[in-house]
Amino acid sequence: MKTIGIIGGSGFYNYPELGETNVISVDTAYGKVNAIAEASLNGNKILFLPRHGEGHKTPPHKVNYRANIEALHQLGATHVLAFNVVGGIGEKCAPGTMVVPDQIIDYTYGREHTFFDGFENELAHIDFGEPFSEEIRQALIKTLSGSEFEYLNQGTYGCTQGPRLESAAEIRKLRNDGCDLVGMTLMPEAALAREKGLQYASLCFVANWGAGMENEKVLIDNILALLNSFVPKIREIILKTTRFL
């Protein structure tokens, strides 16, 4: 039996497909995490954690990423599957596409981004050359290949600070840097998971083109409308993926 954490992003606050769940709160050295839903599925234990808290009250730059990852670690998770909503920058990253990213560029600042704040722990400099678990990435790709979704099995995620969306010039800079996707929530989450020794990968849903890439403005209402129409299918993809882990 594996213990698999699932971190839900925007639009993904509950998990009816899990059936009966046990709702847990965890006290960590970094703060309390409420509303983790625990369930058993196909012989695995699933821990569903809504990244932005109950009712999406916490914006991306204020999420307590350390407490979230520590709580999953304390509950025995070895694998974490994250869901992130993004804007598309790469040519093939049109709205509606699913992407399993393989690289990250971190543009965030001022976030609590490490468990290794002092030098008391020897492992202060983790390897992050390949930021994602290839095991989980391949499981996601296998699930997507049998689904109706258009998907890409690699891409570079540029993580911006938010909560505002980007300027057109910022999106051009990200594109020049090699980013295919832009979002606000993958970092420091991915790095913290690596610091705790967790297998971690992300499934990204492209909800809009990056700012300035088409004539229309990027509006959060349009992003959420497209996302909401896909969320039940996204929840299904993630649960199917846990079977391959």
Distance of CA 147 to the CA centre of its chain: 20
The closest residue (CB) to ligand HPA is 87
Among positions 101, 131, 183, 188, the unique one binding ligand HPA when judged by CB under 6 A: 183
Query: Does 165 engage in binding with ligand HPA (CB under 6 A)?
Result: yes
Among positions 156, 160, 241, 242, the unique one binding ligand HPA when judged by CB under 6 A: 160
Query: Does 67 engage in binding with ligand HPA (CB under 6 A)?
Result: no
Strand pairing of 199-209 and 98-99?
Answer: antiparallel
Interface stretch with ligand HPA, choices 92-100, 108-116, 179-187, 231-239 (CB under 6 A): 179-187
Among positions 182, 192, 231, 238, the unique one binding ligand HPA when judged by CB under 6 A: 182
Among positions 71, 81, 86, 239, the unique one binding ligand HPA when judged by CB under 6 A: 86
Taking CA atoms, 42 is separated from 21, 79, 141, 176, 245, in Å, by: 14, 15, 20, 44, 11
- Angle (CA) 32-33-39 rounded to 5° is 145
Please give the helix or strand (H or E) that residue 239 lies within, else none: helix 220-242
- Which one, 70 or 180, has the nearer CB to ligand HPA? 180
Query: Does 180 engage in binding with ligand HPA (CB under 6 A)?
Result: no
Among positions 5, 50, 87, 90, the unique one binding ligand HPA when judged by CB under 6 A: 87
- Which one, 101 or 210, has the nearer CB to ligand HPA? 210
Query: Does 210 engage in binding with ligand HPA (CB under 6 A)?
Result: yes
Q: How many CA within 13 A on the CB side of residue 241?
A: 31
CB atoms under 10 Å from CB of 222, counted, come to 14
Q: Pick from 206, 207, 203, 219: which is nearest to 165 by CA?
A: 219
- Which one, 83 or 151, has the nearer CB to ligand HPA? 83
Query: Does 101 engage in binding with ligand HPA (CB under 6 A)?
Result: no
Closest distance of CB 164 from ligand HPA, Å? 9
Query: Does 181 engage in binding with ligand HPA (CB under 6 A)?
Result: no
Q: Which residues have a Cβ under 8 Å from the Cβ of 155 and sit 6 or more positions away?
A: 90, 93, 99, 100, 101, 102, 103, 180, 181, 204
- Angle (CA) 74-138-100 rounded to 5° is 85
The residues binding ligand HPA (CB under 6 A) are 85-87, 160, 165-166, 182-184, 207-208, 210, 218, 223
